[in-house]
Each structure stands twice: as C-alpha cells, then as structure tokens.
Amino acid sequence: MAITAAMVKDLREMTGAGMMDCKKALNETNGDMDAAVEYLRKNGQAKAEKKASRIAAEGIARAAIEGNNAVVVEVNSETDFVAKNELFQNFVQDVAKVALSSSLNGGKNGEDIDSLLGQKYTDGTSSVKEVLIEKTATIGEKLSIRRFEKVSGDTVVSYIHGGGRIGVLVSANGASDDAAKEALTNIAMQIAALNPMYISDSDVEQSYIDHETEIIKAQIEADPKEAGKPENVKAGMIKGRINKQLKDVVLLDQVYVKAEDGKQTVANYLSSVNKDLVVTKFVRFEVGEGMEKKNEDFAAEVAAQLG
C-alpha cells in the first residue's frame, strides 16, 4: 500500500511521534493506522495513547435529568460554526429530553439510535427522525445523532464542558443530599478533565492488563539500557509501570484534582463527604472521539460540482 504524506501527518497528530518514525511505522504495518499506532507505542515513540483518539468531528453533547435518572447525547454536525448555532443547540437539548423520556418508559438505552429516531419529538407530533431531517434542511449541514447513554442512582449529576465538547454523567448510591450532589459534580469535572476508564480496580479488565503488559515488555526490550536486565528485574519494572498506569485510568485511584495536599485520592475525597457514597456508573462523551474528520477542500468540491 502506498504511504501518503497525509497518512504520515495524521499518524503524527495522533501520536506525537516524529515524521520519519511515523512513515516507518506505516511502512511496517502496510498503512494500517491502528497497527501503526501500536507499533509506535511498542517502540516507545508514541507520546501518549490518549492522542490516538483526536477530536475529529464537530457537534455537541447535552444532558437531561429527571429525578434519579439522567441521559447524555451526542449529536454531530459538519462544522463548529453550526455546533455554536442556537437552533442546533436547542435541537440537541430536545433530543436529550426525548432520550430520557423514552428510557424511562421502557425505551432502549445505549446506542440504539433507530429506536430513538422513532420516538415522538417534544412537539408531540413529529418523530425525532422527521425533525432531524427538517433541521438538516434548515441548517444546511448533515446532522447525525451518534449516541446516547443513561444512568440511574440515588444521586445523578451531569456536567457539560467547553460548551458541549465533553458531556459527563455520574450516578451514585448511598446518599442524595446536597453535599453528595456537590461531590459528584466535582467528580464529573474530574472525569471530564482526566478521562478515567474504570471506576475501581475491580472493574479493570484482564485484557487491558495483558495488553498493556505486552506494550511495556516491548518498550523494555527496545531500550538498550533495560533489555539486558535480569528477568525478575524486568518483571518488577512491568508491575510498577502497570500500577502507575492504573492510578491514571481508575477513577477512585486518581489524585483528586482539587486536593489541597495534591495527594488525596478520589476515593478518599468521597469518603470524607459521606462514607456511604458509592459511585455506580459514569459516562463520558467527548464529541467526535474515534471519528475521522472530513478533509475539507472547498475548491475541489466546487470544481467537482462545476464539472
């Protein structure tokens, strides 16, 4: 497969690795972008795994809450200009309300968009799909309802960051007073900022441990200063790095961002608020994550239309 400059540029933006390293990785993996990211990570050239999911599409996330239930939705647009449009923002908020109402009345949760599109819109007459088509025509861009998710608990909170670039829901049991709500809102902000993968150590999948262990092993073997060390030393290094990594991806093990001493964990913070307060679920939508951004070339588009 021919490796293009655009492919090298995309991989560099995703990983932060050098241009020649990216070109080599793409050549080694026959242009497979995901495999190239993995190759760079194993060779210690990727700056951070999180950069492999760059924001690639426009749109916003919005949330709706009713009682002990909350829903967050992501709706995409083609441009950031439309994402800031009040008409579009109101539409997304209404979609969140419909998704919540549907889930409370036995509707399907998660990414079953077809089910959501068939629901009655807030006007009570049109379907969500019909309004989506109408808004697309009015706004002049392709709009897409990408996903939605619901949480339930004794206490539920939502947090929308950056005008809708990130939407977070958190649910917990054990307390429902104002102090619990304030604490969970702080945790929602933490989730928006630090993007954990799991709530607690017990939630961490063995496949994640195995995968990261393989990556770390490859990094050690690729480093001349570490490759020759005894196997028991390498095993200790791997365990130490895994434990350090878990403190980044496990919510309760993360350092609480507002901790005055810079050491208090999220688990300790929640316990200080109420020992019975237990986070049961969180959802974090970052608009466009995992999607490829359309390569805008308006001159070529115009030329194609004239041709």
pLDDT tens digits, 126-164 = 999 999 988 888 887 888 999 999 999 999 999 999 999
Same fold, 5-53 and 58-152: no
CB 183 within 8 A of CB 269: yes
Q: Write out the H or E segment, with its range, that includes residue 75.
A: strand 69-77
What is this structure's pTM?
0.75
Q: In this model, does residue 9 exceed pLDDT 90?
A: no
CATH 3.30.300.130 applies to domain 5-53: no
Query: In what helix (H) or strand (E) does residue 239 lie, and over which residues does it extend?
Result: helix 231-249
pLDDT at 284: 97
CA dist 274 and 187 (Å) reads 14
CA distances to 3, 8, 45, 51, 286 from 11, rounded to whole Å, are 11, 5, 12, 10, 20
For residue 159, the model assigns a pLDDT of: 97
Please return the burial class of 77, using the count of CB atoms within 10 Å of its CB with bins 0-12, 13-18 and 19+.
buried
Dihedrals phi, psi of 255, to nearest 5 degrees: -70, 130
pLDDT of 203 = 95
Q: Which residue has the higher pLDDT, 15 or 251?
A: 251
Map out the domains of the chain as residue ranges.
Answer: 5-53, 58-152, 201-281
Name the pLDDT band for 106 (thresholds 50, 70, 90): low
Pick among 3.40.50.300, 3.30.70.100, 3.30.930.10, 3.30.479.20: CATH of 58-152: 3.30.479.20
Long-range contacts of 35-38, Cβ-Cβ distance < 8 Å, separation of 24 or more: 36/11, 37/11, 38/215
Give mean pLDDT, residues 264-286. 97
Q: What digits encode the pLDDT tens for the residues 203-219?
A: 999 999 999 999 999 99
The tens digit of pLDDT for each residue in 193-205 reads 999 999 999 999 9
* pLDDT at residue 107, as a whole number: 55
